[in-house]
Structure 1
Amino acid sequence: MEEMRFDGRVAVITGAGRGLGRAYALLLAARGAAVIVNDPGVSMQGEGTDAGPAQAVVDEIRAAGGKAVASTASVATPEGGQAIIDAAVGAFGRIDILIHNAGIVRRGAIADLSPADFETVLDVHLRGAFHVMRAAFPHMIAANYGRIILTGSINGLYGNAGVVNYSVAKSGMIGLCNVAALEGAPHNIRSNIILPGAVTRMAEGLDTSAYPPMEPEQVAPAVGYLAHEDCAISGEMLVAMAGRVARAYVMESQGVYRPDWSIEQIAADMDAIRATDDALLFPPVPDGHLAHLRHSFAMARDG
């Protein structure tokens, strides 16, 4: 099988100083990409700064003969997102690949979590994704090429107690990814989500003693595929965890049609409403939104 390379491509990777982002940066650089290693070097709670992690990855890439530049701007503000993309264009003249991996954790139950801790996590994960995407999109449109990979989580699909801010941010990533896939389609821009599982700093405080091997390097090939020019999918989610790679997706039941409903009829028909026989899949690209409407309207029409 011919090696899938990234020669001539420029990749921006946020949160690339450690863990998953570092693994992505090393893999793409080894395959020929020039990499912007973005990481402000904050703690897992988003506090402090340290230029060391980003520079260490840059040094490692350069020592192996690759091309890389460090960026310590924060994704949490529009200005920071713009600065990260400007670093790529300034150093290498283009931006082909955007991998938004930056993330922090501030734990707390819904009844206890402060508004500040809720907003700060969304600033990095979800708003950060928009900030770098907003800055990169015009360059990708002009080049008629782009590959965007956002970092979701199974917490965003299924929830997890004690991290409502993180789960909400990761759920929001799905809508952002789908819109980017739709708006990017005419310009050869593909947007997808990786749902990674690896034991990194984010697992601090959790009991991982019973986990199988879960290294960042096990996730990196799936991200590499999504970042490659031969990536054949857009608006999709790939799970990569402990050696397993899978597709995650949203489905709907067929549903039940009545021209009008009462509360009692909803209760009586709930089993049929929820039945998953012949479940429906509406892929976001090319027209999941319209496909959903067409199906619902057809049931009303054919009643």
Structure 2
Amino acid sequence: MTSKSPLWMIELRPDVQKATAWMLEQERDIIRPGHDDGYGWHAILAAAFGDLAPKPFRLIEQPKHLRRREYPECSVQLLAYTLANPTKLVDRARLECDPRPYQALAVEELAHKPVPTSFEVGQRLGFEVRVRPTVRQDRDGNRRRSREKDAFLAALDAEPRPRFERPEIKREDVYRNWLTARFGDAARIEPGSFRLEKLSRAMLLRPRQAELGADAADSRRRDLVAVGLLKRGVEGEQGGSPDAVMHGSLTVSDPDAFHRLLARGIGRHRAFGFGMLLLRPLGRR
């Protein structure tokens, strides 16, 4: 893709109750208590748009005073980037989507705008992104047994010095470096601008877990607890991977690479509500 390739931002105002009801009725457990619901939204977008399902996307809860009076049940805004023409998206849903997910997503009211086809070297922008700042670690050198780990905990483990001799390792610094690496040559984070706005933990339901089913997944979890490979409760890593919202200012370094970064998204799980880089003019929040 070049900087002239069309990229669109779309907005949906889904009915959360209708969408959740559809998710709960599916044969697979695409949403589950104690897990992030990103896989459910991925599934309903795929049901509506097929292989054109937009990603990365971001769900943003709307404050009550911003909700439309005639649709108070539409409490979230779903934003996404897509290379597909928005008209083609709607036509695909009209042709192939079942009525219930179509209505739950309010496809007929899909709003859109074109993303600039070019950026300038040195252009300054504010940004916000929701990501899972994790790294992949091989087990005993075996890439097929790799696992996903919080980048901060991985940085602590990588420090060879004893805890009382090592310098303080700050989570915000680790996450800033993690994001800087994923920006690559496309952009740089302006010094002093990065802020970890929000941090929580949540389990992320994966496709294979959905196929497994809740009962089988719970049984497997109990087996792991019994043999000591998993701790009881939901503390630390066992409580899920980090779910972080990051703010800051950036300067565009490579316009074409930056455009590709927007279209691709940042980090892992971009099809499940993470990695969408939202931009704003500096000075506006």
Does the pair score TM above 0.5? no
Task: Return the TM-score normalized by structure 2.
Answer: 0.21
Higher share in strand: 2
Higher share in helix: 1
Identify which of structures 1 and 2 has the higher relative contact order when contacts are C-alpha pairs closer than 8 Å and 6+ apart.
2
